[in-house]
Amino acid sequence: MPDSPVPTPIDTLLVAIRAVVGERGLLTEPADTAPYAEDWRRLYQGRTPAVVRPAGAEEVAAVVRLCAEAGVPVVPQGGNTSMVGGATPAADGSELVLSLARMNRVRAIDPVDLTLTIEAGVTLKAAQDAAAEAGCLLPLSIASEGTAQVGGILATNAGGNNTVRYGNARDMVLGLEVVLPDGTVWNGLRRLRKDNTGYCLRQLFVGAEGTLGIITAAVLKLVPRPRETEVALCAVASPEAALGLFTRFQAHDPAAVQAFEYMSGGGMGFVLKHIPGANLPLARPSEHYALVELATPRPDAGLRAALEAVLEQALADGLVQDAAIAESDAQRAAIWRLREEHSEAQKREGASVKNDVSVPVSKVPELIRRATAACEALIQGVRCVPFGHMGDGNIHFNLEQPEGADAAWFLAQDHAIMDTVNEVVRDLGGSFSAEHGVGLLKPYMMPDWRGGAELAVMQRIKHALDPRGIMNPGKVLP
């Protein structure tokens, strides 16, 4: 009789995990696990023996406990839309992926408390829809909201289009449920506006990118749904003119500015070229664009009149060259699509290097000018496509490979490119990662930017909560 093969420790672990999550909760076929092992940008090709898909927090806890005992690392994953490889397992096949996708229930919504209690695997779009059905607004909007999930959004402290008015993901969190690296469940699903009782643990997990524990559910703040929304796309003469327009809207009514985005002519050109159905609602293309969204829950706020008044004056003063105001939901969506499809269009155009940087708002035009000059001097023919959240001082200073260049050659220069942009960013008092986080791509920058006491404290916190280093290894900390 042939000997049966000796189970390897990972096989033993998977048997125990299968007993917790069942057949439905475990993927082991390479064809099934492959999509979870590669990031959206295709920068990292990981490998994993299994993707675990628990159905609830207790299952997550049991799985993490088993992994902790076996010393096998866990990579939490939501919608897998990270721009920095934050949810991708290592290439050596030593890490399990834990997908939150099956935990997709809206647990409760309270229009009086203005709170939404929701599981980690709900997509941001579904969470927004649930809030809207209750007559409220979840004021967080990002380009990947149809795929990105609440757990990942909180773990990475996503920013997005409405930060200018409502802040980042962290500003929306009242409570969290978290599975700690030893498999303990911390139920902090409180929905209090005031709770001043010691260290604010929930904020420790927001932005930790899954290195301290796994967020399984959250209580999010809602706001009253806007009664009036106006969106305009403007052709502007320069980044300075875009900033000037922003300050005029802010001066007029800061409570109404819900988004203020900048786009370069190059980036818009890629959208018009690659995205089916994309059309420019202006007479002619421009070198620079601004997208403004105003919104208010107040009845009779007269937003349209305010928008027109600010734009008319800006046209008269030469800040704005042309503007299109959306007349319907469909036109609003079409204008937003020109902005939201920037990343997809850049992907279709070829290889790109991303710099998700922030500077004080007043320095954005200088950032765009200086970083463009520095990158064009570094790589002949490189195409700079800065765009993003001008109202937050957060520009995606992305670079597209020179036409006809080899993609691998271009990507191999990513550190040189990022360092070149970051030199300008540092000089302007900015940050090397405004909203995408650190992930696998940028831990090497941490000693330089956050070294000393700050990084030392982060490392001590990591060690205190995850002494065996099993939670999302290789991410955030160098």
Residue 383 as a binder of ligand MLT (CB under 6 A): the answer is no
Q: Which of 17, 64, 68, 83 binds ligand MLT (CB under 6 A)?
A: 83
Give the position of tokens 């999509």.
35
Please give the residues from 331 up to 360 whose contact with ligand MLT meets the rule CB under 6 A.
342-343, 354, 356
Our CA angle for 221, 225, 231, nearest 5°, is: 115
* Minimum distance from residue 252 beta carbon to ligand MLT (Å): 25
Binding mask 414-453 for ligand MLT (x = CB under 6 A): ----------------------------------------
DSSP class of residue 25 equals: G
Residue 399 as a binder of ligand MLT (CB under 6 A): the answer is no
Nearer to ligand MLT, 286 or 394 (CB): 394
Nearer to ligand MLT, 202 or 396 (CB): 396
* Minimum distance from residue 356 beta carbon to ligand MLT (Å): 5
Residue 396 as a binder of ligand MLT (CB under 6 A): the answer is yes
Q: Report how far residue 296's alpha carbon sits from residue 347's, in angstroms, rounded to the nearest whole number.
A: 35
Q: Report how far residue 4's alpha carbon sits from residue 194's, in angstroms, rounded to the nearest whole number.
A: 60
* Minimum distance from residue 325 beta carbon to ligand MLT (Å): 23
Nearer to ligand MLT, 87 or 219 (CB): 87
Cβ neighbours around 415 below 10 Å, total: 13
Nearer to ligand MLT, 354 or 383 (CB): 354
Nearer to ligand MLT, 39 or 356 (CB): 356
Residue type, 415: H
* Minimum distance from residue 393 beta carbon to ligand MLT (Å): 14
Q: How far is CA 18 from CA 25, 57, 216, 389, in A?
A: 7, 16, 20, 44
* Minimum distance from residue 403 beta carbon to ligand MLT (Å): 20
Residue 288 as a binder of ligand MLT (CB under 6 A): the answer is no
Q: Which of 86, 139, 388, 439 binds ligand MLT (CB under 6 A)?
A: 388
The closest alpha carbon to 165, from 355, 297, 313, belongs to 297
* Minimum distance from residue 389 beta carbon to ligand MLT (Å): 7
Residue 143 as a binder of ligand MLT (CB under 6 A): the answer is yes
Binding residues for ligand MLT, rule CB under 6 A, total: 9
Nearer to ligand MLT, 342 or 363 (CB): 342
* Minimum distance from residue 340 beta carbon to ligand MLT (Å): 6
Nearer to ligand MLT, 88 or 398 (CB): 398
Nearer to ligand MLT, 206 or 470 (CB): 206
Nearer to ligand MLT, 165 or 396 (CB): 396
* Minimum distance from residue 297 beta carbon to ligand MLT (Å): 25
Instruction: Report helix, strand and coil shares of the chain as percent, to nearest 5.
Output: 40, 20, 40
Nearer to ligand MLT, 119 or 261 (CB): 261
Binding site for ligand MLT (CB under 6 A): 83, 143, 342-343, 354, 356, 388, 396, 398
